[in-house]
Structure 1
Amino acid sequence: MHDSFVSHNSSSWQGEPPLSRGGFILLSVVMALFTGPAVVLNATVIIVSLLHKQLRQPLNYALVNMAVADLGSAVTGGLLSVVHNAQGFSSLGRTGCVMEGFAVSLFGITSLCTVALIAVERMFVVCKPLGHMTFQKKHALAAIALSWIWSLTWNVPPLLGWGRYELEGVGTSCAPDWRNRDPHHMSYILVYFAVCFAVPFVVILVSYSRLMWTLHQVSKLACLEGGAVAKKELKVASMVVLMVLTFLISWLPYAGLSMLVVFNPHVEISPLVGTIPVYLAKTSTVYNPIIYIYCNKQFQRYVVPFLLCKEVRIQEDTSEVVTTVELSTNKVSPA
């Protein structure tokens, strides 16, 4: 099976690899530069959250869930890409390719769904469309379960015959087969795009637009009243903007290219051009932990000493246990 898979890989290159040996090595190095920090930072967020009960706040549950998904994606997608590019080909065989594609897609869509769920949580808590709402542990756990169930539901079909996982780009990673012309498989890609990218994207866009408008109104009011809460709300807004921007930068080119191939089957896209959006999406695993470690003083207080192998100063921590949650639950409804 391995030999036939490698032969299929080579045939898609028309007898010649799409990149020189140096090109594959360069891709391997670039992915290593993103994957290494992604593994370390996401693992750190998970570990410190397990070690310190002060971090076990409802909102942080969602952040930890995103760290778990990003860590899984970095290991199954990022590390394998580093190895395969160093080799110049995928050495997993057909079964391994399917499992890689399934795992990377499962973790990636779970991470996207978690970003969307955080957007909804912030919109309900800060903008209060249904009145005052407290984000509790049960809400966080339900949201986490929903993100995994949703992702699993739409990534299992290729294992059962609707759609399939295949080599993509320069042939060193596997993903849902966007290039397949079979109407049966194309229907899966269209549905997959709609429910796994378009839906989270719309949810994020609507929720964060509402949130940004509310924060803008509150900031103006705060400035008129002396700026008491403007700085706090600005920090929340900064985190929101960064998460949205990284979401768009990481995933929009990949989704756009995939839909271009689906709707215009005759378009000619070189393997290298097809690889760039794939790897850009995989770099998303390192952005999220950097953003919420930087913007969340809770994680800063524990993560930085952990990374520097220093002791956490408990006395300082107890004076400010919940920074992000306080920001989210402040009375920020526009007057």
Structure 2
Amino acid sequence: MESFASQSAFGPHFAALSNGSVTDKVTPDMAHLIHPYWNQFPAMDPIWAKILTFYMICIGFISWCGNGVVLYIFSTTKSLRTPANLLVINLAISDFGIMITNTPMMGINLYFETWVLGPMMCDIYAALGSAFGCSSIWSMTMIALDRYQVIVKGVAGRPMTIKLALMKIAFIWAMGSIWTLAPVFGWSRYVPEGNLTSCGIDYLERDWNPRSYLIFYTIFVYYIPLFLICHSYWFILAAVSAHEKAMREQAKKMNVKSLRSSEDAEKSAEGKLAKVALVTISLWFMAWTPYTVINNMGLFKFEGLTPLNTIWGACFAKSAACYNPIVYGISHPKYRLALKEKCPCCVFGKVEDASKASDAQSQATTNENESKA
């Protein structure tokens, strides 16, 4: 453990602590992984550990059930066994994996109010969280790119095949493996963070080794996927909006109210895609941006980082695992139809007939082909 002088140099509050430091319960085998910056903070109120435990149990239960149901429905429903849906299944596996592995370990450490599982389990916890999290992010990206190919490029786009889907899934897990194993082999490292009940990338060290890793990790696991998702949905919405406008103008020329007999009863493809795009991008920012900001603050500026806000940032990133089943599963009409058949208590609202059930991208593609005919 660092000397008192070394510890107090990281902040003016250390000398004034009256109820001990957040690092007081650190076990001897973990002491060498704790950055001296955390020594300045008092021990967190035990009520926060209970609140965090309750939160993790809630999102864990939702994620286990939601992603478990997605995997069950997609794997047992023949009409859903399409190449494109392999990406949705991969997303569900990633989200299920991060919660089934991280939630129990974090719960144990919250009970003891510090990391008690040792350095090896710290590496395993952080590595699994990074691998599944990266896979989830890139799965969302590949889903967006697939929708872009189908809706924007149409017949000119590359059709999704099982081989192509498997190649994309291989790429997704390759990305996850690269960024997960790098700290294990010496490019940065995994350390306890926040209130020291969770482990993640070391974003407080000033050496070029961990800082360079964090810079590249942020680029390839946050900024590039975010750009690709926004790019895809921007052009998807633009294409569908232009098609809807053309349909309305054609209907006006033909002196009819609409070219769709069911337009009054069903929402347009434009509206459905707008909602999916808005929800996807919004949840992306909500789940991953706080933790990215925390990492960047540690990279460039310490002030503002506390055990409480950093641990909440890590927990909030994991909440994406319970959002995704709703966005990519329940918004899928054929999935809702199968879910109503096999688990009717999980379905709310109107469910389309089998003859009308289709996802947003296939609906938009059909409409486009009809307009060209």
- Please indicate the TM-score interval, normalised by the length of the shorter structure: 0.7 to 0.9
Q: Match of 1:240, as an amino acid?
A: A
Q: Match of 1:272, as an amino acid?
A: L
Aligned to 1:251: 288
Determine the C-alpha separation between the residues in 2 that align with 1:205 and 1:309. Answer: 34
Q: Match of 2:315, as an amino acid?
A: Y
Residue 240 (1) aligns with residue 265 (2): no
Determine the C-alpha separation between the residues in 1 that align with 2:271 and 2:101. Answer: 36
Aligned to 1:278: 314
Residue 288 (1) aligns with residue 324 (2): yes
User: CA 1:10 to 1:297, structure 2 compared with 1: closer, same or farther past 3 Å?
Assistant: same
Determine the C-alpha separation between the residues in 2 that align with 1:25 and 1:319. Answer: 49
User: CA 1:80 to 1:215, structure 2 compared with 1: closer, same or farther past 3 Å?
Assistant: farther
Residue 302 (1) aligns with residue 338 (2): yes
TM-score by length of 2: 0.80
Residue 167 (1) aligns with residue 204 (2): no
Q: Match of 1:259, as an amino acid?
A: N
TM-score by length of 1: 0.88
User: CA 1:279 to 1:304, structure 2 compared with 1: closer, same or farther past 3 Å?
Assistant: farther
Structure with higher Rg: it is 2
Report the Cα offset of residue 219 of structure 1. 2.6
Residue 19 (1) aligns with residue 44 (2): yes
Determine the C-alpha separation between the residues in 2 that align with 1:8 and 1:128. Answer: 50
Question: Would the aligned equivalents of 1:119 and 1:207 in 2 still touch at CA under 8 Å?
Answer: yes
Determine the C-alpha separation between the residues in 2 that align with 1:44 and 1:325. Answer: 23
- Out of 107, 116, 135, the position equivalent to 1:82 is 107
User: CA 1:9 to 1:185, structure 2 compared with 1: closer, same or farther past 3 Å?
Assistant: closer
Determine the C-alpha separation between the residues in 1 that align with 2:259 and 2:92. Answer: 34
Counterparts of 1:181-200 in structure 2, within 5 Å, are 181-200=206-225
Aligned length: 329
Aligned to 2:236: 211
CA distances 1:79-133 after superposition (whole Å, capped 9, x unpaired): 4333322332222210000010000000001110111111111112111188244
What SS does the aligned partner of 2:159 have? coil
Aligned to 1:31: 56
Q: Match of 1:42, as an amino acid?
A: N
Report the Cα offset of residue 65 of structure 1. 0.5
Aligned to 1:105: 130
List alignment gaps of at least 5 residues for structure 2.
Answer: 1-25, 252-257, 347-351
Q: Match of 2:286, as an amino acid?
A: I
Residue 260 (1) aligns with residue 297 (2): yes
- Out of 53, 75, 87, the position equivalent to 2:78 is 53
Report the Cα offset of residue 223 of structure 1. 3.4
CA distances 1:240-282 after superposition (whole Å, capped 9, x unpaired): 2211111111111211221122122x42411112122211111
- Out of 243, 246, 253, the position equivalent to 1:221 is 246
Determine the C-alpha separation between the residues in 2 that align with 1:268 and 1:187. Answer: 22
User: CA 1:306 to 1:37, structure 2 compared with 1: closer, same or farther past 3 Å?
Assistant: farther
User: CA 1:232 to 1:330, structure 2 compared with 1: closer, same or farther past 3 Å?
Assistant: same
Determine the C-alpha separation between the residues in 2 that align with 1:128 and 1:302. Answer: 29
Question: Would the aligned equivalents of 2:64 and 2:100 in 1 still touch at CA under 8 Å?
Answer: yes
Q: Match of 2:246, as an amino acid?
A: L
Report the Cα offset of residue 220 of structure 1. 2.3
Determine the C-alpha separation between the residues in 1 that align with 2:298 and 2:35. Answer: 21
Determine the C-alpha separation between the residues in 1 that align with 2:213 and 2:35. Answer: 26
Greater RCO (CA < 8 Å, at least 6 residues apart) = 1
Report the Cα offset of residue 137 of structure 1. 2.0
Question: Would the aligned equivalents of 2:101 and 2:125 in 1 still touch at CA under 8 Å?
Answer: yes
Q: Match of 2:311, as an amino acid?
A: T
Q: Match of 1:216, as an amino acid?
A: S
Determine the C-alpha separation between the residues in 2 that align with 1:304 and 1:177. Answer: 45
Q: Match of 2:279, as an amino acid?
A: L
Q: Which deviates more, 37-46 or 84-93?
A: 84-93
CA distances 1:191-216 after superposition (whole Å, capped 9, x unpaired): 11111111111111211111121122
Q: Match of 2:65, as an amino acid?
A: V
Counterparts of 1:105-184 in structure 2, within 5 Å, are 105-128=130-153, 131-184=156-209
Report the Cα offset of residue 13 of structure 1. 4.9
Q: Match of 1:118, as an amino acid?
A: I
Q: RMSD over aligned Cα, in angstroms?
A: 2.8
Question: Would the aligned equivalents of 2:150 and 2:361 in 1 still touch at CA under 8 Å?
Answer: no
Determine the C-alpha separation between the residues in 1 that align with 2:164 and 2:274. Answer: 23
User: CA 1:261 to 1:7, structure 2 compared with 1: closer, same or farther past 3 Å?
Assistant: closer
Question: Would the aligned equivalents of 1:62 and 1:144 in 2 still touch at CA under 8 Å?
Answer: yes
Determine the C-alpha separation between the residues in 2 that align with 1:177 and 1:73. Answer: 19
